[in-house]
Amino acid sequence: MERVISYSDLLLLGGQAEENVDILLREGAAHIELLLDGKSWDDMEETMARLVPYLLGTKASYTVHPPAWDTNLTSENRAIRDASFEEYRKSIEWAHRIGATHVVIHPGFCFSPAFCKQTAALRAEEAVNRLCRVAAPLGIKLAVENVGYHGSSLFSQDEYVSFVERLEETAVYLVDTGHAHINGWDIPALIRQTAPRLGCVHLHDNTGDADDHLPIGEGTIQWAPVWEALRDAPGCQLILEYAPGTALSKLSDGYKLLREIGC
Protein backbone atom coordinates (compact mmCIF):
# COMPACT_ATOMS: atom_id res chain seq x y z
CA MET A 1 0.00 0.00 0.00
CA GLU A 2 1.30 3.45 -0.94
CA ARG A 3 2.24 5.64 1.99
CA VAL A 4 -0.08 8.54 2.83
CA ILE A 5 1.42 11.97 2.12
CA SER A 6 -0.63 14.83 3.54
CA TYR A 7 -0.66 18.61 3.17
CA SER A 8 -1.14 20.76 6.27
CA ASP A 9 -3.17 23.92 5.67
CA LEU A 10 -0.82 25.84 8.00
CA LEU A 11 0.60 27.70 4.99
CA LEU A 12 -2.90 29.13 4.39
CA LEU A 13 -3.39 30.23 8.01
CA GLY A 14 -5.97 33.02 8.25
CA GLY A 15 -7.98 31.98 5.22
CA GLN A 16 -11.53 30.66 5.30
CA ALA A 17 -11.54 26.92 6.04
CA GLU A 18 -13.51 25.89 2.95
CA GLU A 19 -11.35 28.06 0.71
CA ASN A 20 -8.19 26.58 2.19
CA VAL A 21 -9.41 23.06 1.51
CA ASP A 22 -10.47 23.99 -2.03
CA ILE A 23 -7.02 25.43 -2.71
CA LEU A 24 -5.26 22.29 -1.46
CA LEU A 25 -7.59 20.04 -3.42
CA ARG A 26 -6.76 22.00 -6.58
CA GLU A 27 -3.09 21.41 -5.74
CA GLY A 28 -3.80 17.69 -5.89
CA ALA A 29 -4.08 16.96 -2.18
CA ALA A 30 -5.70 13.63 -1.36
CA HIS A 31 -5.02 13.98 2.38
CA ILE A 32 -5.21 17.22 4.37
CA GLU A 33 -4.34 18.11 7.96
CA LEU A 34 -6.73 20.81 9.18
CA LEU A 35 -5.29 23.29 11.67
CA LEU A 36 -8.15 24.68 13.78
CA ASP A 37 -6.53 28.07 14.29
CA GLY A 38 -6.94 31.54 12.80
CA LYS A 39 -9.94 33.79 12.21
CA SER A 40 -11.93 31.12 10.37
CA TRP A 41 -12.06 29.15 13.63
CA ASP A 42 -12.93 32.02 15.96
CA ASP A 43 -16.45 30.60 16.32
CA MET A 44 -15.32 27.00 16.68
CA GLU A 45 -18.68 25.25 17.05
CA GLU A 46 -20.28 27.12 14.15
CA THR A 47 -17.35 26.41 11.84
CA MET A 48 -17.26 22.74 12.81
CA ALA A 49 -20.98 22.29 12.15
CA ARG A 50 -20.78 24.10 8.80
CA LEU A 51 -17.79 22.10 7.59
CA VAL A 52 -19.04 18.57 8.30
CA PRO A 53 -21.20 18.12 5.16
CA TYR A 54 -18.71 20.00 3.01
CA LEU A 55 -15.72 17.86 4.08
CA LEU A 56 -17.68 14.62 3.81
CA GLY A 57 -18.55 15.64 0.25
CA THR A 58 -14.92 15.88 -0.87
CA LYS A 59 -12.77 12.96 -1.97
CA ALA A 60 -9.98 13.79 0.46
CA SER A 61 -9.25 12.24 3.84
CA TYR A 62 -8.45 14.37 6.85
CA THR A 63 -6.53 14.62 10.08
CA VAL A 64 -7.17 17.29 12.71
CA HIS A 65 -4.75 19.61 14.47
CA PRO A 66 -6.48 21.38 17.40
CA PRO A 67 -5.58 25.01 18.18
CA ALA A 68 -1.80 25.21 18.47
CA TRP A 69 -1.40 28.68 19.95
CA ASP A 70 -2.56 29.71 23.42
CA THR A 71 -3.42 26.16 24.52
CA ASN A 72 -1.38 24.30 27.12
CA LEU A 73 -2.51 21.08 28.78
CA THR A 74 0.16 21.58 31.47
CA SER A 75 -0.30 25.29 32.18
CA GLU A 76 0.40 26.53 35.70
CA ASN A 77 -3.11 28.00 35.54
CA ARG A 78 -5.83 25.42 36.06
CA ALA A 79 -8.43 27.40 34.08
CA ILE A 80 -6.12 27.34 31.04
CA ARG A 81 -5.47 23.61 31.50
CA ASP A 82 -9.20 22.93 31.64
CA ALA A 83 -9.99 25.13 28.63
CA SER A 84 -7.20 23.48 26.63
CA PHE A 85 -8.52 20.02 27.48
CA GLU A 86 -11.99 21.05 26.36
CA GLU A 87 -10.70 22.27 22.98
CA TYR A 88 -8.93 18.95 22.46
CA ARG A 89 -12.04 17.02 23.45
CA LYS A 90 -14.16 18.96 20.95
CA SER A 91 -11.55 18.42 18.25
CA ILE A 92 -11.55 14.65 18.84
CA GLU A 93 -15.32 14.39 18.67
CA TRP A 94 -15.39 16.53 15.51
CA ALA A 95 -12.64 14.42 13.95
CA HIS A 96 -14.91 11.42 14.35
CA ARG A 97 -17.74 13.27 12.59
CA ILE A 98 -15.59 13.96 9.50
CA GLY A 99 -14.02 10.49 9.41
CA ALA A 100 -10.54 11.71 10.33
CA THR A 101 -7.85 9.18 11.19
CA HIS A 102 -6.05 11.00 13.98
CA VAL A 103 -5.90 14.15 16.08
CA VAL A 104 -2.61 15.89 16.87
CA ILE A 105 -1.88 16.31 20.58
CA HIS A 106 0.57 18.82 22.03
CA PRO A 107 1.28 17.33 25.48
CA GLY A 108 2.22 20.72 26.90
CA PHE A 109 4.92 23.29 27.49
CA CYS A 110 6.91 24.68 30.42
CA PHE A 111 7.55 28.33 29.65
CA SER A 112 9.40 29.46 32.77
CA PRO A 113 12.34 27.97 34.67
CA ALA A 114 10.34 28.79 37.80
CA PHE A 115 7.89 26.02 36.87
CA CYS A 116 8.54 22.33 37.55
CA LYS A 117 8.85 20.17 34.44
CA GLN A 118 8.25 17.00 36.44
CA THR A 119 4.90 18.36 37.60
CA ALA A 120 4.07 19.43 34.05
CA ALA A 121 4.94 15.97 32.70
CA LEU A 122 2.63 14.32 35.24
CA ARG A 123 -0.16 16.69 34.24
CA ALA A 124 0.50 15.88 30.59
CA GLU A 125 0.31 12.13 31.14
CA GLU A 126 -2.96 12.43 33.07
CA ALA A 127 -4.53 14.75 30.48
CA VAL A 128 -3.49 12.76 27.41
CA ASN A 129 -4.69 9.50 28.94
CA ARG A 130 -8.05 11.15 29.64
CA LEU A 131 -8.16 12.23 26.00
CA CYS A 132 -7.32 8.67 24.96
CA ARG A 133 -10.45 7.54 26.77
CA VAL A 134 -12.45 10.06 24.73
CA ALA A 135 -10.84 9.00 21.46
CA ALA A 136 -10.73 5.20 21.80
CA PRO A 137 -14.49 4.52 21.49
CA LEU A 138 -14.56 6.79 18.42
CA GLY A 139 -11.74 4.97 16.64
CA ILE A 140 -9.50 8.04 16.63
CA LYS A 141 -5.76 7.82 17.19
CA LEU A 142 -4.03 10.58 19.16
CA ALA A 143 -0.74 11.61 17.56
CA VAL A 144 1.43 12.97 20.39
CA GLU A 145 3.89 15.50 19.03
CA ASN A 146 7.36 16.41 20.30
CA VAL A 147 6.74 20.10 20.96
CA GLY A 148 8.67 22.90 22.62
CA TYR A 149 12.15 24.28 22.11
CA HIS A 150 14.53 26.83 23.67
CA GLY A 151 13.79 25.27 27.05
CA SER A 152 10.00 25.01 26.83
CA SER A 153 9.91 21.30 25.93
CA LEU A 154 8.87 19.01 28.76
CA PHE A 155 11.08 16.21 27.55
CA SER A 156 14.48 15.18 26.27
CA GLN A 157 14.50 12.81 23.30
CA ASP A 158 14.52 9.67 25.46
CA GLU A 159 11.96 11.13 27.86
CA TYR A 160 9.59 11.82 24.95
CA VAL A 161 9.95 8.25 23.74
CA SER A 162 9.26 6.89 27.23
CA PHE A 163 6.34 9.28 27.76
CA VAL A 164 4.35 8.01 24.77
CA GLU A 165 5.27 4.40 25.55
CA ARG A 166 3.48 4.77 28.89
CA LEU A 167 0.30 6.20 27.40
CA GLU A 168 -2.78 4.18 26.57
CA GLU A 169 -2.58 2.39 23.22
CA THR A 170 -4.78 4.96 21.44
CA ALA A 171 -1.75 7.27 21.53
CA VAL A 172 0.90 7.10 18.80
CA TYR A 173 4.04 9.11 18.11
CA LEU A 174 4.08 12.20 15.93
CA VAL A 175 7.69 13.13 15.19
CA ASP A 176 8.12 16.78 14.20
CA THR A 177 11.42 17.16 12.36
CA GLY A 178 11.69 20.91 12.86
CA HIS A 179 11.18 20.80 16.63
CA ALA A 180 13.60 17.90 16.96
CA HIS A 181 16.24 19.78 14.96
CA ILE A 182 16.03 22.93 17.11
CA ASN A 183 16.48 20.79 20.22
CA GLY A 184 19.48 18.98 18.78
CA TRP A 185 17.78 15.59 18.76
CA ASP A 186 18.96 12.77 16.51
CA ILE A 187 16.04 12.62 14.06
CA PRO A 188 16.91 9.30 12.34
CA ALA A 189 17.47 7.66 15.75
CA LEU A 190 14.17 9.12 17.00
CA ILE A 191 12.30 7.66 14.02
CA ARG A 192 13.83 4.26 14.69
CA GLN A 193 13.07 4.49 18.43
CA THR A 194 9.43 5.25 17.72
CA ALA A 195 8.92 3.16 14.55
CA PRO A 196 6.71 0.41 16.05
CA ARG A 197 4.20 3.05 17.19
CA LEU A 198 4.97 5.92 14.80
CA GLY A 199 1.73 7.36 13.45
CA CYS A 200 2.93 10.40 11.53
CA VAL A 201 5.80 12.76 10.84
CA HIS A 202 5.57 16.53 10.39
CA LEU A 203 8.13 17.36 7.72
CA HIS A 204 9.65 20.85 7.64
CA ASP A 205 13.09 22.40 7.88
CA ASN A 206 14.92 25.16 9.76
CA THR A 207 18.46 26.30 10.56
CA GLY A 208 18.36 25.06 14.15
CA ASP A 209 17.55 28.48 15.60
CA ALA A 210 13.80 29.02 15.13
CA ASP A 211 10.68 27.08 14.19
CA ASP A 212 10.63 28.45 10.64
CA HIS A 213 8.64 25.63 9.00
CA LEU A 214 10.73 25.90 5.86
CA PRO A 215 10.26 23.54 2.92
CA ILE A 216 12.43 20.43 2.89
CA GLY A 217 16.00 21.29 1.93
CA GLU A 218 15.87 25.01 2.77
CA GLY A 219 17.35 24.63 6.26
CA THR A 220 20.16 22.59 7.79
CA ILE A 221 18.49 19.25 8.53
CA GLN A 222 20.47 16.40 6.98
CA TRP A 223 17.66 14.65 5.15
CA ALA A 224 19.33 11.57 3.63
CA PRO A 225 19.55 9.73 7.00
CA VAL A 226 15.94 10.75 7.73
CA TRP A 227 14.73 9.17 4.49
CA GLU A 228 16.69 6.02 5.27
CA ALA A 229 15.05 5.75 8.70
CA LEU A 230 11.57 6.43 7.28
CA ARG A 231 11.91 3.57 4.79
CA ASP A 232 11.97 1.30 7.84
CA ALA A 233 8.72 2.84 9.12
CA PRO A 234 6.45 2.48 6.08
CA GLY A 235 3.16 2.70 7.95
CA CYS A 236 3.44 6.28 9.20
CA GLN A 237 1.80 9.22 7.47
CA LEU A 238 4.05 12.02 6.17
CA ILE A 239 2.67 15.55 6.57
CA LEU A 240 4.21 18.55 4.80
CA GLU A 241 3.77 21.35 7.35
CA TYR A 242 5.06 24.59 5.85
CA ALA A 243 4.92 28.15 7.21
CA PRO A 244 2.13 30.61 6.43
CA GLY A 245 2.77 32.33 3.11
CA THR A 246 4.89 29.52 1.65
CA ALA A 247 4.31 29.13 -2.09
CA LEU A 248 1.82 26.36 -2.82
CA SER A 249 4.21 24.90 -5.39
CA LYS A 250 6.49 23.89 -2.50
CA LEU A 251 3.88 21.32 -1.45
CA SER A 252 3.85 19.58 -4.82
CA ASP A 253 7.67 19.81 -4.91
CA GLY A 254 7.80 18.06 -1.53
CA TYR A 255 5.29 15.44 -2.63
CA LYS A 256 7.31 14.65 -5.76
CA LEU A 257 10.53 14.43 -3.75
CA LEU A 258 9.01 11.97 -1.28
CA ARG A 259 7.71 9.76 -4.09
CA GLU A 260 10.98 9.90 -5.99
CA ILE A 261 13.08 8.82 -3.00
CA GLY A 262 10.65 6.05 -2.12
CA CYS A 263 9.20 7.50 1.08
- Phi and psi angles of residue 43, each rounded to the nearest 5 degrees, phi first: -105, 85
Separation between Cα atoms, residue 101 and residue 140, nearest integer Å:
6
Query: What pLDDT is attached to residue 176?
Result: 98
| Domain annotation for the chain: domains and CATH numbers | 5-260 (3.20.20.150)
Query: What pLDDT is attached to residue 1?
Result: 74
Q: What 3-state class would DSSP assign to 74?
A: coil
Separation between Cα atoms, residue 67 and residue 60, nearest integer Å:
21
- Phi and psi angles of residue 112, each rounded to the nearest 5 degrees, phi first: -135, 140
Q: Which residues of 216-241 are buried (b: 16+ CB within 10 A; e: fewer)?
A: beebebebeebbebbeebeebbbbbb
pLDDT single digits (tens) 97-132: 999 999 999 999 999 999 999 999 999 999 999 999
Question: Which parts of the chain register pLDDT below 70?
Answer: none
Query: What pLDDT is attached to residue 48?
Result: 98
- Nearest residue to 214 (alpha-carbon basis) of 223, 203, 225: 203
Query: What pLDDT is attached to residue 246?
Result: 98
Query: What pLDDT is attached to residue 33?
Result: 98
